[in-house]
A and B are shown apart, each in its own frame.
Chain A
């Protein structure tokens, strides 16, 4: 159940669906022919006031404080940048050599920075396609946190861990019971449900981003089972009717 922050938040969210905001962002980026700069593990974009507002409202990137007063800079995570470039086709990225990177080149670069990128990206885009806001979950000890709308309006419901079916070297989490307990307990303490998203590469490999389309995704939540709350109603059988 979504936990909306304050009265009127749910109404605001319904009046202004995330899909619409993202669409506006997409148009604005295309119109302005925005270019991102590759910088190690992020992409930096210079934006005007309109784009800054759209990036904030759609929750892509984080604003960075600079000495420039008239322009705003945003820093995008790898998954965010690739989503704008490859899925939404509204951003192009320039490498350190000054040339625009093709999606293939960008894919190879991102894989070199983060070997698990293909699987991580599949999960990010899977959730974003469903219009969830997806942000880094590192401070909560997970990969992503997913919000039904803008974090100012709603608390995040899901703490997401990315897992890879079969190919176990890529999996760093939930290999042992103590990690399952640790994660479920931490998620509980911050009122989020643990959502594991298991990606199956279906032997497609990861040579090019077009492989992604053949990956399949399985969602599983992991929660505590409380015997007390899961008992059948004791009075049920006597009346002959199920409560």
Chain B
């Protein structure tokens, strides 16, 4: 699918300001401010000043939360987003309810206890973020994540992502039966997104520590409708001896 940029000039804007650069700015800002996130159930809350708020918005990490405080802004991060900032980008630390800083291993264990499929889900999330895609929750579209090539303001989302575990089927709640495949492909089609399935193989590494992730592999597969009408060879090509096949 070709990227669907919103309006003229969006593609140029995005090229001039690559996501990798903006994420790098967020990284620096978080380190400088010695940022700390508060663990609360399935989220991490961070207090952010104007600069950090701006960068969170531009990189699409977290959602801003309305509070009674006027000068400070609070952002709520999903577990995958928080872990990415803590473990992959190493620019944030999480604080537990007891007030102590959580190590990455502790944060990993905590995330797994809240969400058993976290290792799979996180591998998929980080796989896409490493490629500089914007990755957001896909729940309202009935999938795990939505992946954008750049800021949602500039481009329509391209992929609706499901993270599945290769082999270890207990963890997989989706695409076990044909009706789910049809349901998901049809819904994705109706919101102009391509269904992207990320098959994560833990390669028998287990999940005891985040360092296991490094040995996981990810296989990307898109699932789309095959339309016989659109996939026919051009009838006249047989006469012309050239293949003009239309897709």
Indicate whether A173 sits within 8 Å of B177 (C-beta atoms), given known contacts A178-B144, A181-B139, A185-B141.
yes
Does chain B have a CB within 8 A of A109?
A: no
How many residue pairs link A and B with beta carbons under 8 A? The number is 71
CB distance from B152 to the nearest CB of A (A): 19
| B143/A186 in contact, CB under 8 A | no
CB distance from A181 to the nearest CB of B (A): 4
- Cβ proximity bits A30-49 to B, threshold 8 Å, 1 near / 0 not: 00000000000000000000
- Cβ proximity bits A125-147 to B, threshold 8 Å, 1 near / 0 not: 00000000000011111110000
Does chain A have a CB within 8 A of B35?
A: no
List B contacts of A141 (CB < 8 A): 179-180, 182-184, 186-187
Our pick among B141, B173, B176, B182 for the contact of A139 (Cβ within 8 Å) is B182
Q: Closest chain B residue to A174 by CB distance?
A: B173
Q: Main SS of chain A's interface residues? A: helix
Indicate whether A178 sits within 8 Å of B142 (C-beta atoms), given known contacts A142-B183, A173-B179.
yes
Does chain A have a CB within 8 A of B100?
A: no
Does chain B have a CB within 8 A of A230?
A: no
| B179/A142 in contact, CB under 8 A | yes
Our pick among B138, B141, B162, B186 for the contact of A140 (Cβ within 8 Å) is B186
List A contacts of B177 (CB < 8 A): 172-173
- Cβ proximity bits B160-191 to A, threshold 8 Å, 1 near / 0 not: 00100000000001101111101110110010
Our pick among A139, A178, A185 for the contact of B174 (Cβ within 8 Å) is A178
- Complex Cα distance, B108 from A146, in Å, reads 46
Does chain B have a CB within 8 A of A179?
A: yes
The count of residues in chain A whose C-beta lies closer than 8 Å to any C-beta of chain B is: 21
CB distance from A182 to the nearest CB of B (A): 2
Our pick among B139, B162, B183, B186 for the contact of A177 (Cβ within 8 Å) is B139
- Complex Cα distance, B190 from A185, in Å, reads 10
List B contacts of A176 (CB < 8 A): 173-174
List A contacts of B227 (CB < 8 A): none
Residue in B179, B182, B184, B186 whose Cβ sees the most chain A Cβ within 10 Å = B179
- Complex Cα distance, B173 from A185, in Å, reads 18
Our pick among B162, B183, B190 for the contact of A183 (Cβ within 8 Å) is B183
List B contacts of A177 (CB < 8 A): 139
List B contacts of A161 (CB < 8 A): 179
| A181/B180 in contact, CB under 8 A | no
List B contacts of A242 (CB < 8 A): none
Q: Which residues of B contact A (CB under 8 A)?
A: 138-144, 162, 173-174, 176-180, 182-184, 186-187, 190
Can you pick out 12 interface pairs between chain A and chain B where the beta carbons lie within 8 Å of each other?
A138-B178, A138-B182, A139-B182, A141-B180, A141-B182, A141-B187, A161-B179, A172-B176, A181-B142, A182-B142, A182-B143, A186-B142
Q: Which residues of A contact B (CB under 8 A)?
A: 137-143, 161, 172-173, 175-179, 181-183, 185-186, 189
A141-B183, A161-B179 are known contacts; what are 6 more A-B pairs with Cβ within 8 Å? Answer: A141-B187, A175-B174, A181-B140, A181-B141, A186-B183, A186-B187
